[in-house]
Amino acid sequence: MMSVKDLPEECWELVFRFIGHGRHLESLSLVCKQFLSITNRLQFSLTIYDPTIPLLPRLLLRFPRLRILDFSHLNGHHEALLHQISQSRLDLDLLNLSNQKTLSVDGLRELGSNMKNLRVLICSNIGSLRDSHLVVIAYCFPFLEELDISFPLDSQASDFGMLRLSSMLENLRKINISGNYLITDKSLFSLCQNCLSLEEISFFTCYKITQLGIASAIRLRPGLNSISFNIEKKRIHGPGLTLTPIDLDLIDSFRSLKSLTAIDLSNSVISDEFLFAVAEGGGLLLKKLILQDCCNCTFSGISYVLSKCQSVQRLDLRKADFLTDQCISKLSIFLLNVTSINLSGCCQLTNSTFFILTRNCPLLSEIKMERTYLGVEGEEDSIQDSFVNLEVKKVYLGDNVLLSDASLIKFASVCPSLQLLDLNGCEGVSGEGIVEVLKRCCEIRHLNLAYTGMKVFEMMDFEVSQLEVLKLSGSRIEDEALSIISKRCSGLLLLDIQSC
């Protein structure tokens, strides 16, 4: 009989690569030392949590082919973190240091001396960001292609640091400088002028960057693929306190963005004329359109941009409160390629919108309709029995206080392939309704019933072994229910019972 050792390690490595990563490799690593050695070499990404910090040096030695390290889930101060990474001699491709309370300049310098090939550095939401950080990053990581320094808790980064950064990182393709409020037009201009490979830029809440500055930068870099920023909702005094208008030069500059595939204007004052310019620029290439919490545009502007940009895959119209079921019906003919849509906060939308989307959007896999008028029947409710959508996998319906069992069961019947269902705060849904949903949707892996107060598992007489994540925060759950969950949900990986 052939043993494990009779097959060369190269063959086993190919087999394990085919099987996959993560949990599947964990079980294989327990079979024998040879399998442990092979699976260690196939671990390319590692996320570190607080309990594993003492084991970090050993983990970095154990997995010699690590390319991605993620420290964004750590709490507290970890002064020696960068030193330990530097000493590992790993050839990292991506390093995520987000959410660290401190980021040592000396530590960054040491890291850069040993990892000059780093391509992606993410330092979002760090405790403090100074020009000294930017200068060290520029000098020590010359091959950076992606940099995220967004939303530091204390930002002292200025144009000085950004000018040095942009002059050194000639390979930079993506940068996020959002939340650095001291940065002005000079920084944006220098990035677009000096970083010749720049494709994607984000600068939310950088209110010293002006509309004219944005227009000038765009004209320097018309090949941008993605741009994300917000136009501040300022009001000018006068009759009715009208919103500050969008500069015509900014509107005109967007017509030059012929390669645009993604635009995020969250929390902006925009206009129909601005959307017309976006459509004329991006046209058929636009894949991502984020207009959440925007104001001053109308259905006409949104309809026009979607009619011209029918390749959009991700659409976010959160809080577009002028939208009705009839509006969605008219827009749906342009949404043949949409895979994800967010209509949360669109308070006029009823059950009809859900059925319109699931019937008319063949590629749709994710629907977000939180805080809407779901639960109220509309004209389309009568057609729900005539079709089934097997593509929809994720549905977020949180905080729909009118949502009932009857409506939810109809949604489940239309979308039997659901893998994620979020009903956070839907107090009108009962345990009986959830049981019926679980019977119809046998593939649900993630179920959020937080703050619903319902009792579900006491009345279940079948197993839901595929369920991996169950959120019951704020629910009145008792020991008996926990016992039933342990028996009925054998595949559970995460159970959230905070505030129970």
- Binned at pLDDT 50, 70 and 90, residue 445 comes out as very high
Q: What value does the mean pLDDT take over residues 238-257? A: 83
For residue 7, pLDDT beyond 60: no
* Percentage of the chain lying above the pLDDT 70 cut: 87
Q: What would the mean pLDDT of 445-471 be, rounded to a whole number?
A: 87
Residue 82 belongs to some domain of the structure = yes
Residues 473-477 have a mean pLDDT of: 81
Residue 476 pLDDT more than 80? no
d(C-alpha 428, C-alpha 60), whole Å: 49
Instruction: Pick the range with the lowest mean pLDDT from 41-45, 277-281, 351-355, 425-429.
Output: 41-45
Tokens of 337: 């390629």
pLDDT category, 123, cuts 50, 70, 90?
very high
- 469 within a domain of the structure (yes/no): no
Q: Give the span between the Cα atoms of 199 and 149, in whole angstroms.
A: 17
Mean predicted confidence (pLDDT) in 291-314: 97
* The predicted structure's pLDDT at residue 18: 59
Average pLDDT of every residue of the chain: 89
| Confidence band of 38 (pLDDT split at 50, 70, 90) | low
- Average the pLDDT over 366-395 and give the result: 87
> Does residue 443 have a pLDDT over 90?
yes
Residue 463 domain flag: no
| pLDDT of 33 strictly over 80 | no
User: Looking at residue 85, which CATH number applies to its domain?
Assistant: 3.80.10.10
Question: Percent of the chain having pLDDT more than 90?
Answer: 67
Instruction: List residues bridging with 154 in a β-sheet.
Output: 128
What is the C-alpha to C-alpha distance for residues 131 and 157, in angstroms, rounded to an integer? 5
Q: What is the 3-state secondary structure (H, E, C) of 167-193?
A: HHCCCCCEEECCCCCCCCHHHHHHHHH
Domain count, the chain: 1
- For residue 122, the enclosing domain spans 43-201
145 is a domain residue: yes
Q: Does residue 14 lie within any of the structural domains? A: no
Rounded to whole angstroms, the Cα distance separating 354 from 205 reads 33
The pLDDT tens digits of the residues spanning 313-326 come to 999 999 999 999 99
In the prediction, which pLDDT does 484 show? Answer: 81
Contact status, residue 138 vs residue 112, Cβ threshold 8 Å: no
| pLDDT surpassing 70 at residue 492 | yes
Quote helix, strand, coil % in the chain, to nearest 5: 40, 10, 50
Q: Identify the pLDDT of residue 1.
A: 43
Q: What is the rounded distance in angstroms from the CA atom of residue 225 to the CA atom of residue 220?
A: 14
Higher pLDDT, 399 or 8: 399
**For residue 27, is it within any domain?**
no
pLDDT at 2: 43
Stretch among 98-102, 129-133, 160-164, 413-417 having the lowest mean pLDDT = 98-102
Q: What is the pLDDT of residue 397?
A: 98
Cβ neighbours, 10 Å, residue 346: 23
370: in domain:
no
Query: Nearest-CA neighbor of 112 among 142, 140, 80?
Result: 140
Within a domain: 35: no
Over 70: is that where the pLDDT of 380 sits?
A: no
| Threshold 0.75, pTM exceeds | yes
Which of 48-52, 188-192, 242-246 has the least mean pLDDT? Answer: 242-246
d(CA 433, CA 202): 43
DSSP tally for the chain: helices H, then strands E: 18, 20
Q: Which residue has the higher pLDDT, 265 or 38?
A: 265
